[in-house]
Structure 1
């Protein structure tokens, strides 16, 4: 089977997933066991972050991080932070398209793994699963591009 895989001809655009992996995971229950006896409905705050790094020529790491902070009143019930990453090979693609691939396509591939991990960790910690909603990475990317353009426009004036 390895004989069937051939290198792309020189100059041909290449996009390949090299690896998906869980880069970091933490779960904290700082107020257990007493807070587990509370009957109030917890407040759930979810934050997502995205990063992309050029590892070496044509190889990029894209990470999507979810931070789930669940509180009862002003005390933390549990805190989960998970960072799911992927290594992608991107070659012979125009730079303006590479940004879109790193900001839209790669996170869309990484995110389902992150959603499953967060849900599973919450369940294994003894809580109902936290289901991360679907994310429109294209809209996020376009908003970031617009914000950059606005900041660039203000800096020029």
Structure 2
């Protein structure tokens, strides 16, 4: 009987904790867009065998107690041989209301869930601007933000462990 009561109390506590959790998208917007075609018309006279390089960045800005601005930056550089045919960069941002999460959960949501929401908009903006530059469509591959976050956490842990090892020597 006591075990049943403990299970009920634990379930009630979990339900109460979840009731205080909130995640809402307040606004999605393009914060910055840049497009450069340094080769100019010469890019259209060469055989199109591009080398594509994609870089991702994520920045979090706490606006107040419950609101966060998350900015996903995608930079795509396309080269023909050694010369840059074009460079496109998009800063896709969103304002998210998040409450009821502990620090670890909050960090995870801000670095995985929010960029996952922003990515399709950034990918569309990149494709759109590349098309307006008269280059072939560029569909960026999906990104696993959970894997990138896990990798970053692992690197931080390794660096912390190496730092502690260096201090003991």
Q: Indicate whether the TM-score tops 0.5.
A: yes
Give the equivalent residue in structure 2 for 1:71: 79
CA distance in 2, matches of 1:58, 1:32: 46
SS at match of 2:62: strand
Query: Which of 91, 97, 102 pairs up with 2:105?
Result: 97
1:138-157 equivalence runs, <5 A: 138-157=146-165
Count of paired positions: 147
Unaligned 5+ segments in structure 2 are 1-18
Deviation at 1:14, TM superposition (A): 1.7
CA distance in 2, matches of 1:35, 1:117: 21
CA distance in 2, matches of 1:106, 1:113: 12
Unaligned 5+ segments in structure 1 are 1-10
Give the equivalent residue in structure 1 for 2:64: 56
Instruction: Note the alpha carbon deviations across 1:83-125, whole angstroms, 9 max, x for none.
Output: 1011101122111100110011111111110111111111121
CA distance in 2, matches of 1:51, 1:156: 28
Deviation at 1:15, TM superposition (A): 1.1
1:3-152 equivalence runs, <5 A: 12-152=20-160
Deviation at 1:40, TM superposition (A): 4.5
Greater displacement, 39-48 / 129-138: 39-48
CA RMSD of aligned residues (A): 1.3
Structure 2 length as normaliser, TM-score? 0.82
SS at match of 1:82: strand
CA distance in 1, matches of 2:101, 2:52: 40
CA distance in 1, matches of 2:38, 2:112: 35
CA distance in 1, matches of 2:118, 2:163: 34
Deviation at 1:47, TM superposition (A): 1.1
SS at match of 1:49: strand
Point out the structure with the larger helix share: 2
